[in-house]
Chains A and B, each alone.
Chain A
Amino acid sequence: MPESKKQMSRRRFAVWGTTISGALVSLTLGIPIIGYILSPLFARRDTPVEKRVGYILDLPDGQPVRFVVQFPQNAWPVPDEDHTIYVVRHGENFKVFSNTCTHMQCPVRFQKDINQFLCPCHGGLYDLHGQNVGGPPPKPLAQYTHRIDRDGVLYVKNALDEEL
């Protein structure tokens, strides 16, 4: 049976049908899966939680003191996670540092012998103002949003002044 050019052949129809069915299945599966994988990018950020740290007006000058604060984790209700913060007093000013290295996010610690913060992973160094003074870290230590009430008690929010 001769077919006119405009008429679709039976075979061609089947080819298109197969392709379209396959595409439909892929799309139907693909959209939710890709959205699900990407969802952390669009997740609403939780409002920062404020935690009481303690009385700090008796801290020694120019000497970092470590406190452990509990902040929520980024998921369903699981117990809060411990975080180290370093509080440094410079005269009347207080700085509250995150101990997350700005290089690879290793746990930075205060080294008394060199009077600097040291990252044990790749040897990053920070001074008492949080400035990155040695090794590979690209940025100063991040600082927590905080307030000191009139009784001299420090409160810290799990919000940093810069992206890590």
Chain B
Amino acid sequence: MSPGIKRPRRPRRLTRAYQWFDERTGIRRLLRTGLYEAVPVRGSWFYTLGSATLVLIILQLVTGIFLMFQYVPSVQEAWQSLNFLKQTDIFGSWVRGTHLWGAYILMFVIGLHLVRTFLSASYKRPRELNWITGVLLLVLVLGMAITGGFLPWDQASYWTAVVVTNIPAYTPVIGPFIRTLWRGGEAVGPITLTRTFGIHVWLLPSILFPLIGAHLALLRKHGEFGSYVNYRGAFRTKEGLAIPPPPDRLEADPPYPAAPTDELWSVPLETEDFYPHQTFKDGIVSAVLVLLIFALAVAIGAPLEEKANPAAVTYTPVPEWFFLPLDQLLVLLPKQLTVLILVLPMAGVILLLALPFIDRGHERNPFERPAIVVPGLIIAFFLVALTLLGSGRLFNL
């Protein structure tokens, strides 16, 4: 093209279209608020875990939607529909593999996200509800993992369904009723599958996604706390740089980044724009995870065992790896204490929910909070130990 030629019109038309759209929707302002938030610089690779969790949940939503193009939630046809997929449709098998491995990696990443938030004490005032919504999301994701495991209706699914629906039966008084409600009858059968399918694809997601919205809205309201390293030695306030008084003379409430109108508004020492600096790191981590999931989906795929057979006596049911601690407890607990299988996980969830109200001091450095961090590590140690104890079963040792 010679330099004398007029600039092409197309961009201007696009710009005009954008302006037209913006005038009616306010999209420009929405994007600006969404993209240009000041986030901490130091430690920000650790803060990619939250966005990775979100990306993996969306991955589950997308692959889940497309699995429904073929899957039939019926004891007669669930297994056949997936077996047909496996036999005849390589891409469909990859989609199913991605859904399974995505779930596995999601459980792992959501655990790391929890550990990171725990260690950096990001749950302290005013972010208690960020933490609580996060704990509820963890419970819901676990619920998705349990219910999803029922759906293929192969041997693994069937016996998982039997054992898992039987666990609530140990609740005092109402236990057997809960089991009957979940199963849709006394025994695991056709209604167990349809009910669990409904829970998996509509009931839990319809709570999960609004709760993710609340989790993110709270994150944006209070800003990313990051970690104490971002405030060490000094912090920036509306008035300028401030040096905190010695710890014994600290005021009751430490400075924290909250809404700009807040009296105590401060930001971490070094910040950068969410876009493109944090999104770059978020993008890299998420992309690596998604590629890893896809590689596992192609290389290993999602297993489909023999069709469910309630009369089997040679099949050894094995739990999913993330239920190994619970399953190992079932092996170890004496029969008088089986009810602990319900009590311990519930106590765990209640402890997690109560954490922001137990650990209320202004200390955020994990090395200065031994009363909180050490018990946390002990619980984590027991979970890992139970998993290792039970892991022999994964390979039928």
| Chain A residues engaging chain B, CB cutoff 8 angstroms | 37-38, 40-41, 43, 66, 68, 73-76, 78-79, 81-84, 99, 103-110, 120-123, 132, 135-138, 163-164
Decide if B180 is an interface residue (CB 8 Å cutoff): yes
Decide if B140 is an interface residue (CB 8 Å cutoff): no
- Nearest-CB distance from B321 to chain A (Å)? 16
Decide if B205 is an interface residue (CB 8 Å cutoff): no
Partner of B190, one of A75, A103, A106, A109: A75
Cβ contact within 8 Å between A81 and B314 = no
Chain A residues with CB under 8 Å of B191's CB are 40, 74-75
Chain B residues with CB under 8 Å of A68's CB are 311
Question: Which of A43, A99, A121, A123 counts the most chain B CB atoms within 10 A?
Answer: A121
Chain A residues with CB under 8 Å of B331's CB are 122-123, 136
Task: Determine, out of B125-133, B144-152, B162-170, B217-225, the stretch whose residues face the partner at the interface.
Answer: B162-170
Cβ contact within 8 Å between A121 and B163 = yes
Cβ contact within 8 Å between A106 and B313 = no
Cβ contact within 8 Å between B313 and A99 = yes
Cβ contact within 8 Å between B184 and A122 = no
Cβ contact within 8 Å between B334 and A84 = no
Cβ contact within 8 Å between A75 and B180 = no
- Nearest-CB distance from A109 to chain B (Å)? 4
Chain B residues with CB under 8 Å of A84's CB are 311-313
Chain A residues with CB under 8 Å of B338's CB are 103, 136, 138
Chain A residues with CB under 8 Å of B185's CB are 40, 43, 74-75
A-B interface contact total, Cβ < 8 Å = 99
Chain B residues with CB under 8 Å of A136's CB are 330-331, 333-335, 338
Chain A residues with CB under 8 Å of B330's CB are 103-104, 121-122, 136
Closest to B336 in A: A138
Interface of A is mostly: loop
Decide if B177 is an interface residue (CB 8 Å cutoff): yes
Q: Beyond the given A104-B163, A107-B317, A163-B176, could you list 14 further A-B residue pairs with CB under 8 A, ordered by the A residue number?
A: A40-B183, A43-B185, A73-B187, A74-B187, A74-B191, A75-B184, A75-B189, A82-B309, A83-B311, A105-B163, A107-B313, A110-B313, A122-B327, A136-B333
A143 vs B232: C-alpha distance in the bound complex, in angstroms? 69
| Chain B residues engaging chain A, CB cutoff 8 angstroms | 75-76, 159, 162-163, 166-167, 176-177, 180-181, 183-187, 189-191, 309-317, 327, 330-331, 333-335, 338
Chain A residues with CB under 8 Å of B181's CB are 37-38, 40-41
Chain B residues with CB under 8 Å of A74's CB are 183-187, 189-191
Cβ contact within 8 Å between A109 and B75 = no
A45 vs B338: C-alpha distance in the bound complex, in angstroms? 29
Contact A83/B335 with A74-B186, A75-B190 known, Cβ cut-off 8 Å: no
Chain B residues with CB under 8 Å of A164's CB are 186
Cβ contact within 8 Å between A105 and B184 = no
- Nearest-CB distance from A122 to chain B (Å)? 5
A104 vs B330: C-alpha distance in the bound complex, in angstroms? 9
A68 vs B189: C-alpha distance in the bound complex, in angstroms? 18
Chain B residues with CB under 8 Å of A40's CB are 180-181, 183-185, 191
- Nearest-CB distance from B226 to chain A (Å)? 42
Cβ contact within 8 Å between A66 and B317 = no
A-B contacts, 10 listed (Cβ < 8 Å): A40-B180, A74-B184, A75-B189, A84-B312, A103-B335, A104-B166, A107-B312, A107-B315, A120-B317, A163-B176
**Shortest Cβ-Cβ A-B pairs, 8 listed:** A74-B185, A82-B311, A75-B190, A109-B313, A120-B316, A73-B189, A84-B311, A74-B189
A76 vs B187: C-alpha distance in the bound complex, in angstroms? 14
Cβ contact within 8 Å between A106 and B162 = yes
